[in-house]
Amino acid sequence: MIISDDFKNLRYIERLEKLYKYSKGDIEFFAFTKEEWDNPKSLFIINMKREAKRLEDLAKSYDINF
């Protein structure tokens, strides 16, 4: 999940094209603007928010410091 205002005014497919060079194996990217994430208008994003964890919180659960 990548949340960045750099995606503003880009269609979703264009966002994924920009991230394609970073894809590896089974990693799937989801790209939203901060506005889309903070004020979701789709059930998909609402459900993603329920399941999402901040990287910092996830790292702590595995005792990883960065």
Q: Where are the domains of the chain?
A: 2-61
Residue 54: its pLDDT value, please?
Answer: 79
Q: What pTM was computed for the model?
A: 0.69
- State how far the Cα of 59 lies from the Cα of 6, in Å rounded to an integer: 25
- Which pairs from 58-63 meet CB under 8 Å and 24+ separation? none
pLDDT in tens, 2-31: 899 999 999 999 998 988 888 777 778 889
Question: By CB neighbour count within 10 A (0-12 exposed, 13-18 middle, 19+ buried), where does 48 fall?
Answer: middle
